[in-house]
């Protein structure tokens, strides 16, 4: 699979089948992604992979805390506000997911199912957590973003689906305890890996993308 095809075919999967990704495939994905460039070759990432019973304990704790109304405490603080146009795209995303599941956004049952789906990591069998030292700045987060894209494209090349989501790291203390992640590392983001479940209505949804003309300005070329 070439890069253009991987970019075109990759999508955020919100319903996974239960079978785990083979360890050899995980190693191939992450081994390829380690070629990701970074500022002055700092390679600021530290990657942790959870699957099997370990991930089930993280998942169960995430669901239990959510249902108990426990607030998340992200290592990397969430934005305090979004530009209006970004909020509109988020609303369109939620509405699209509701339509795919034959529900309405205002339905409390849909809202609860929406949150539960996120906090159970869409049923993914494996999650990669991307971490970096707390002393680093946003420039290193940029490098982790590049690493995240590398992981997802390498996964696509291996026939593995993915979902990058903040809900995967909503309760970092749980992840830290299960994976023995030291306190000096910030848990930045998670990427769920697995195989899409086409029988789940959530898998029917496809989010829209901005047009070239809307997103790109070209001058002098």
Q: In the chain, what are the domains?
A: 3-78+121-203 (3.40.109.10)
What are 30-49's pLDDT values in tens digits? 999 999 999 999 999 999 99
Residue ranges of the chain with per-residue pLDDT less than 50: none
For 62-68, the CB contacts below 8 A with 24+ separation are: 62/119, 62/120, 62/121, 62/167, 62/170, 62/171, 62/174, 63/116, 63/119, 63/120, 65/171, 65/174, 66/115, 66/116, 66/119, 66/170, 67/116
Tell me the pTM.
0.94
What are 182-191's pLDDT values in tens digits? 999 999 999 9
What are 117-126's pLDDT values in tens digits? 999 999 999 9
């Amino acid at each position: 699979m070439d890069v253009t095809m991987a970019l075109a075919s990759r999508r955020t999967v919100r319903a996974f089948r239960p079978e785990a990704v083979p360890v050899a495939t995980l190693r191939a994905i992450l081994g390829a992604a380690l070629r990701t460039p970074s500022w002055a070759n700092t390679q600021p990432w530290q990657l942790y992979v959870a699957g099997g019973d370990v991930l089930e304990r993280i998942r169960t704790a995430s669901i239990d805390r959510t249902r108990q109304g426990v607030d998340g405490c992200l290592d990397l603080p969430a934005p305090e506000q979004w530009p209006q146009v970004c909020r509109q795209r988020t609303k369109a995303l939620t509405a699209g997911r509701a339509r795919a599941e034959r529900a309405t956004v205002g339905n409390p049952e849909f809202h609860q199912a929406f949150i539960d789906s996120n906090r159970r990591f869409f049923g993914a069998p494996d999650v990669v957590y991307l971490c970096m030292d707390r002393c680093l700045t946003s420039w290193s987060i940029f490098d982790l973003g590049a690493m995240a894209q590398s992981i997802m494209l390498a996964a696509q090349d291996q026939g593995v689906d993915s979902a990058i989501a903040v809900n995967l790291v909503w309760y970092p203390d749980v992840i830290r305890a299960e994976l023995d992640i030291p306190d000096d590392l910030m848990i930045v983001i998670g990427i769920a890996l697995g195989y899409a479940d086409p029988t789940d209505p959530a898998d029917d949804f496809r989010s829209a993308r901005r047009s070239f003309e809307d997103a790109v300005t070209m001058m002098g070329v």
